[in-house]
Copies of this chain bind each other. A is one copy, B any other.
Amino acid sequence: MALIVQKYGGTSVGSLTLIQSVAAQVARVRECGDKIAVVVSAMGDSTDRLVDLARELAPEPDAREMDALLATGEQVSAALLAMALRARGVAARSYTGAQLRVQTSEAHGKARIQAIETEHLRADLQSGCVPVVAGFQGVNARGDTTTIGRGGSDTTAVALAVALQADECQILTDVDGVFTTDPRMVRDARCLQRLSFEEMLELAGQGSRVLHLRAVEFAKKYNMPIRVLSAFHPSAGTLICAEEPTVEAPIVAGIAFNRDEAEFNCFGLPDLPGTAYRVLKPISDANIDVDMIVVSAARGGKTDLSFTVHRDDYVQTKRIAAGLMQAFPESNVVSNDRVAKLSVVGVGMRSHAGVAAQLFETMAREAINVRLVSTSEIKISVLVEEIHLERAVRALHAAYGLSG
């Protein structure tokens, strides 16, 4: 008999009909003899609607009140799911974050979970009752309701699974699992059976929207296996867990990509300590995240610096960069907001050479210019013209043998 924590996202509880089918699914897990606790998000777009209400009242609503407001969304779906379960004859109880004493840090809107009291939950599980927990929320030391950031219900589920020492944390969503790449782009993209935490972190961070980064970090820290699977039809989904040394991992697990990139190339900067700092500091001061950073080898006392930002920050970054270049009279900046990044991810890269070579060979064959490259131990990211992105992903997907 296993203990499972299941999390259902907003699209999975977006209507009463869907809530009833979630109840049926939860009932099936119990019929299999497993114990189960459930975490739910707010119904469909109800969080967005609450945000809109608040914004109409105040351009920058008070953070404490915003959390008190938003937390109601998950409380509604938790109560409704508990009712639907009871209507099917399955004992169930809903809990708010405050009620379970999901202790978080102070910071409203982006609090971090510190501890979860499991007394109620263990009593429920013991007695055959299904606890249904409102995700995304907790309570700080002052007794005020907090929220833990968008997508936080994934993190609630993992934290709950860790606190209950569950066997598995299942994230039920609107896709069948984690794919080798976006199946909307590459038709023969394959659902991965298994993935390491590290690979999932690179994929999640690189634009794969299936699972929230923080939840994966949390699961990795406590070695809690996560399974991503469909809320709408039976599937084994993708198991995300610690790398097993005995299993030879495929060299490349998947390809993630991100269209929302903008590129800046600063040419002819003085090759002096502190130059990169002088360029990047004003950008970070403006609260703009810099993603890729590439500094080329110096020639004749001059060097080039390239970096990327989110496309939404393009105009502001361009203005800052133009101002900066006045401090470097011999340099100039060229920017482009029609670029995209793709990342090849796989723990097998650690022990296998040739992944990068194959990437460049494929790009050359496709006559796609690689504008920037950055690498980590288990990832190679390249920046290409956006118009070439789709062709690049397809070619690489085939080249690495990822198709089903």
* C-alpha spacing A391/B50, complex, angstroms: 49
Q: C-beta contact mask, A86-102 vs B, less than 8 Å → 1, else 0?
A: 11000011101011000
Contact segment of A69-77, A213-221, A270-278, A354-362: A69-77
Which residue of chain B has its CB nearest to the CB of A134?
Answer: B68
Which residue of chain B has its CB nearest to the CB of A52?
Answer: B16
Copies in the complex: 2
Q: C-beta contact mask, A39-74 vs B, less than 8 Å → 1, else 0?
A: 000000000001001101110011011101101100
Q: Is A82 an interface residue (CB 8 A)?
A: yes
* Given A93-B64, A94-B65, A94-B68: A58 in contact with B76 (beta carbons within 8 A): no
Residues of A209-231 contacting chain B, CB below 8 A:
none
Which residue of chain B has its CB nearest to the CB of A64?
Answer: B93
Q: Is A183 an interface residue (CB 8 A)?
A: no
Q: C-beta contact mask, A128-148 vs B, less than 8 Å → 1, else 0?
A: 000000000000000111000
* Given A19-B57, A76-B72, A98-B98: A65 in contact with B86 (beta carbons within 8 A): yes
B79 touches A69 (CB 8 A): yes
Q: Is A378 an interface residue (CB 8 A)?
A: no
* Given A19-B57, A83-B54, A83-B66: A75 in contact with B72 (beta carbons within 8 A): yes
B72 touches A58 (CB 8 A): no
Provide the main secondary structure of the chain A interface.
helix
CB of A73, distance to nearest CB on chain B (Å)? 8
Q: Is A116 an interface residue (CB 8 A)?
A: no
* Given A79-B65, A94-B65: A53 in contact with B16 (beta carbons within 8 A): yes
Q: Can you sample 30 A-B contacts with CB below 8 Å?
A: A16-B53, A20-B57, A54-B80, A57-B83, A57-B87, A58-B83, A58-B86, A61-B87, A62-B82, A62-B83, A65-B80, A65-B86, A65-B93, A65-B94, A66-B83, A68-B75, A68-B79, A68-B96, A69-B75, A69-B76, A71-B75, A72-B72, A72-B76, A72-B79, A75-B75, A96-B98, A98-B98, A98-B99, A99-B144, A99-B145
Knowing that A16-B53, A16-B56, A68-B94 touch, tell me 17 more A-B residue pairs with CB under 8 angstroms: A16-B57, A54-B79, A54-B80, A54-B83, A57-B84, A57-B87, A58-B87, A61-B83, A61-B87, A66-B83, A69-B75, A69-B80, A72-B72, A72-B75, A98-B98, A99-B143, A120-B143
